[in-house]
Amino acid sequence: GFRTCLLADAWLDDGAGRFRAAALRERLRSHFDLVLESCRVGMSGTDPGIYRHALEQLRARPREV
């Protein structure tokens, strides 16, 4: 089967002006096996480490994605 991941380069502050993005991620959460927000794992969305982290969480190898 397939496992899916939503990777969001998100701010921790989902306050004024960012509420819609946070609400959208919350609605989408149930449609993905894994939701990673960069602010919650301590890496930016452009950091290669976040992709390694996603692979580890999904128990997948790079060639499988």
Residue 6 belongs to what H/E stretch? strand 5-8
Contact partners, residue 62, CB within 8 Å, separation at least 6: 55
pLDDT at 16: 61
The CATH code for residues 5-58 is 3.40.50.1000
| Closest to 36 measured CA to CA, from 60, 17, 63, 55 | 55
In order along its 65 residues, the chain shows pLDDT tens digits of: 889 998 888 766 655 666 777 788 788 888 999 988 888 888 887 888 999 999 999 999 999 88
Contact partners, residue 28, CB within 8 Å, separation at least 6: 6, 35
pLDDT at 61: 93
Cα of 45 vs its chain's centroid, Å = 9
Angle at 55 between CA 49 and CA 57, to 5 degrees: 105
